[in-house]
Amino acid sequence: MRTRPLKVALLGCGVVGSEVARIMTTHADDLTARIGAPVELAGVAVRRPSKVREGIDPALITTDATALLKRGDIDVAIEVIGGIEPARTLITTAFEHGISVVSANKALLAQDGAALHAAAGQAGLDLYYEAAVAGAIPLIRPLRESLAGDKINRVMGIVNGTTNFILDKMDSTGAGYQEALDEATALGYAEADPTADVEGYDAAAKAAILAGIAFHTRVHLDDVYREGMTEVSAADFASAKRMGCTIKLLAILERAADGESVTARVHPAMIPLSHPLASVREAYNAVFVEAEAAGRLMFYGPGAGGAPTASAVLGDLVAVCRNKLAEATGPGESAYTQLPVSPMGDVVTRYHISLDVADKPGVLAQVATTFAEHGVSIDTVRQQGKDGEASLVVVTHRAPDASLSGTVEALRKLDTVRGVASIMRVEGE
């Protein structure tokens, strides 16, 4: 057992960082035994130095994260500041000074992961980020290591805790959107700017990271099709219920049947109540992975929150410290396949469309013809009259997204169609 401690710089001490510091302190002896050397919290960089931080020696606090990294004795930096800058510059500075990095920053990794991996590789250092996707759930390492010998064809899951919390509350208690978002924020689930959660950017960042690892290719945040959940209404939940479904914000990553391209998308979708993802409540996440040899695997657990996320960060810290002692590094980026990411129009799935139409003869035939003209086959139609108008709910068979968009565009031009109330994809059947 080495007695000289490995020194850790904690960059950020908010919801996640404060829990990392707490566990490092309370579990110090176990961490020492598991790593084979003591780990010491050597400095904590924050924005507001005067804030009271329970359990943290005030002498460790600094507002100069760069100076902390440059002082010459740091072995590992834990970046839990979030956002692009100063996080990106600090991680780069860490690599320039021989410091391995653990990060929970999905926004940065989805945008600049390739450059950061390259910088870590050139410096012969580690970049670990288990906490960046799905909170406490071990997912990055299983994909990167346990499934490295298999071929992953599909990943589908709930990867944002805040939006799952909101959708679950709206569905199960009838809570309003803002009320549920405020609760998720108070519980420490939401991003500093919750727009990242509700507009799907956070899930899209996680989708980009997962797709890159699963398909051994580079998928940038901009490659991921994204729709948020702010438009999901009580009426959508009522429609979903009538179909025996609920609504979840899903991330879906697929390898094309010919293996020559991939798709990556994030959007709300109806899923049958019988599907395991339908019963994922509150801020829990769950991810299905379909691999050629392994078959279907499911990963489930807390997807957000200080302590659960700190668990993933600490797991990475132990791994990186072990690597340091062994004078080795863990696996770096594997992006050898260079598969193109196809546009959303190529994705094939089912749709639930609600139309407000005139309640008069021939409307149904006109609508059905429009679907047929665009090659979209109808599975079911339900019509409900209301004061000279009618609500028409059409559920399609599987069709390319581009065909569905063309259909909707044409439907909007029909005199008898007063409006398209909602369009939602149907998944998991």
Binding site for ligand NDP (CB under 6 A): 12-17, 45-48, 51, 65, 80-82, 86, 104-106, 131, 135, 188-189, 191-192, 304-305, 309
> Alpha helices of 27-142 — where are they, by DSSP H?
28-35, 65-70, 87-96, 106-123, 140-141
Nearest Cα neighbor of 212 from 54, 370, 367, 337 is 337
By a kind-dependent CB cut-off of 5 to 8 A, residue 17 interacts, out of ligand HSE, ligand NDP, none, with ligand NDP
> What's the chain's length in residues?
429
Least gap, CB of 135 to ligand NDP (angstroms): 5
By a kind-dependent CB cut-off of 5 to 8 A, residue 162 interacts, out of ligand HSE, ligand NDP, none, with ligand HSE
Chain position whose Cβ is nearest to ligand NDP? 14
Least gap, CB of 67 to ligand NDP (angstroms): 11
By a kind-dependent CB cut-off of 5 to 8 A, residue 12 interacts, out of ligand NDP, ligand HSE, none, with ligand NDP
Residues 15/333, Cβ–Cβ less than 8 Å: no
Q: Using alpha carbons only, how large is the chain's radius of gyration in Å?
A: 24
Q: Residue 60 or residue 132: which is nearer to ligand HSE going by CB?
A: 132
Q: Residue 169 or residue 352: which is nearer to ligand HSE going by CB?
A: 169
> Alpha helices of 335-414 — where are they, by DSSP H?
363-373, 401-413
Least gap, CB of 353 to ligand NDP (angstroms): 34
Residues 217/338, Cβ–Cβ less than 8 Å: yes
By a kind-dependent CB cut-off of 5 to 8 A, residue 268 interacts, out of ligand NDP, ligand HSE, none, with none
| 222 class by beta-carbon count within 10 Å (0-12 exposed, 13-18 middle, 19+ buried) | exposed
Query: The dihedral of CA 368, 369, 370, 372: what is its sign?
Result: positive
Residues with Cβ < 8 Å from 395, sequence gap 6 or more?
A: 243, 350, 351, 352, 353, 378, 379, 380, 381, 426
Q: Residue 140 or residue 423: which is nearer to ligand NDP going by CB?
A: 140
By a kind-dependent CB cut-off of 5 to 8 A, residue 353 interacts, out of ligand HSE, ligand NDP, none, with none
Least gap, CB of 290 to ligand NDP (angstroms): 25
**Residue 275 one-letter amino acid:** H
Least gap, CB of 298 to ligand HSE (angstroms): 18
Report d(CA 345, CA 340) in Å as an integer: 14
User: 345 by DSSP, 3-state: which?
Assistant: helix
Residues 248/266, Cβ–Cβ less than 8 Å: no
By a kind-dependent CB cut-off of 5 to 8 A, residue 310 interacts, out of ligand HSE, ligand NDP, none, with none
Report d(CA 209, CA 214) in Å as an integer: 9
DSSP state of 147: T
Q: Residue 125 or residue 280: which is nearer to ligand HSE going by CB?
A: 280
Q: Residue 108 or residue 424: which is nearer to ligand NDP going by CB?
A: 108
Residues labelled catalytic? 206
Report d(CA 393, CA 391) in Å as an integer: 7
By a kind-dependent CB cut-off of 5 to 8 A, residue 160 interacts, out of ligand HSE, ligand NDP, none, with ligand HSE
3-state helix, strand, coil in the chain (%, to 5): 40, 25, 35
Least gap, CB of 427 to ligand NDP (angstroms): 24
Q: Residue 95 or residue 177: which is nearer to ligand HSE going by CB?
A: 177
E strands, 125-242, are 127-128, 152-158, 225-226
Q: Which residues bind ligand HSE (CB under 6 A)?
A: 135, 160-162, 189-191, 197, 202, 303-304
Q: Residue 126 or residue 191: which is nearer to ligand NDP going by CB?
A: 191
Least gap, CB of 310 to ligand HSE (angstroms): 12
